């Protein structure tokens, strides 16, 4: 197994003294959320993907949803008070967030964007989100996640 690298996400969590567990799957080359959940032996309802969008107002928003579900753009737009939202282009992700597609985490982005997490997360003891790099996930309680980023829960799928 490859030596585990420390990512910015892990540094942020350690700095804030937040409990988390790292899951590494670098060797597998898996990027698809469902494949990652399977590789880690995790319930896909507990593994979340981070999606970055842009609203009609040109403001960016972050949505965090289970890997086995799709973001509903109409519901998401309504939650953030936009007429419409769209996914940002992959090439815009790195300059905007500091993360690449497949390694985007709600924790430690270059700047904070209004963040909404699908409401099922609040019933989970822990959820997994990207560790900030392809091949890494961090498992964290939603309460502890709330100590690192501000977010609201809503039905967005």
Whether 4 shows a pLDDT value over 70: the answer reads no
Q: Are 130 and 50 in contact (CB under 8 A)?
A: yes
Establish if 3 belongs to a structural domain.
no
For residue 94, give its domain range. Answer: 21-154
Q: How many domains does the chain have?
A: 1
pTM: 0.94
- Token couple for 42: 């995790």
Establish if 60 belongs to a structural domain.
yes
Whether 1 shows a pLDDT value over 50: the answer reads no
d(CA 75, CA 103): 25
**The pLDDT value given to residue 106:** 98
| Among the listed residues 40, 23, 25, 50, the one whose alpha carbon sits nearest the alpha carbon of residue 137 | 23
The band of 2, judged by pLDDT with boundaries at 50, 70 and 90, is very low
Establish if 2 belongs to a structural domain.
no
What does the DSSP 8-state code read for residue 13?
Answer: H
Establish if 89 belongs to a structural domain.
yes
> Residues 131-144: pLDDT tens digits?
999 999 999 999 99
**The pLDDT value given to residue 40:** 87
Establish if 97 belongs to a structural domain.
yes
d(CA 28, CA 37): 12
**The pLDDT value given to residue 61:** 98
Task: Provide CB contacts within 8 A for 76, sequence distance 6+.
Answer: 53, 61, 63, 85, 116, 156
Establish if 15 belongs to a structural domain.
no
Tell me the mean pLDDT in the region 7-26: 94
Whether 30 shows a pLDDT value over 80: the answer reads no
Pick 55 or 27 by higher pLDDT. 55
Establish if 122 belongs to a structural domain.
yes
Other Cβ atoms closer than 10 A to 135: 22
d(CA 21, CA 129): 11
Other Cβ atoms closer than 10 A to 147: 12
Establish if 78 belongs to a structural domain.
yes
Q: What is the CATH number of the domain that holds 47?
A: 3.90.960.10
Pick 141 or 31 by higher pLDDT. 141
């Amino acid at each position: 197994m490859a030596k585990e690298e420390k990512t910015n996400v892990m540094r942020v969590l350690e700095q804030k003294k937040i409990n988390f567990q790292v899951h590494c799957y670098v060797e597998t080359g898996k990027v698809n959320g469902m494949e990652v959940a399977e590789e880690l032996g995790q319930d896909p309802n507990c593994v979340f993907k981070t999606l970055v969008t842009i609203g009609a107002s040109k403001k960016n928003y972050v949505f965090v949803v289970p890997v086995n579900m799709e973001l509903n753009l109409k519901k998401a737009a309504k939650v953030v008070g936009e007429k419409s939202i769209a996914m940002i282009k992959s090439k815009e992700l790195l300059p905007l967030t500091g993360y690449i597609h497949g390694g985007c985490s709600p924790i430690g982005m270059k700047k904070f964007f209004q963040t909404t997490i699908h409401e099922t997360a609040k019933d989970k003891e822990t959820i997994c989100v990207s560790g900030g790099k392809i091949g890494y996930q961090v498992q964290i309680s939603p309460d502890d996640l709330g100590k690192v980023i501000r977010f609201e829960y809503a039905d967005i799928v």
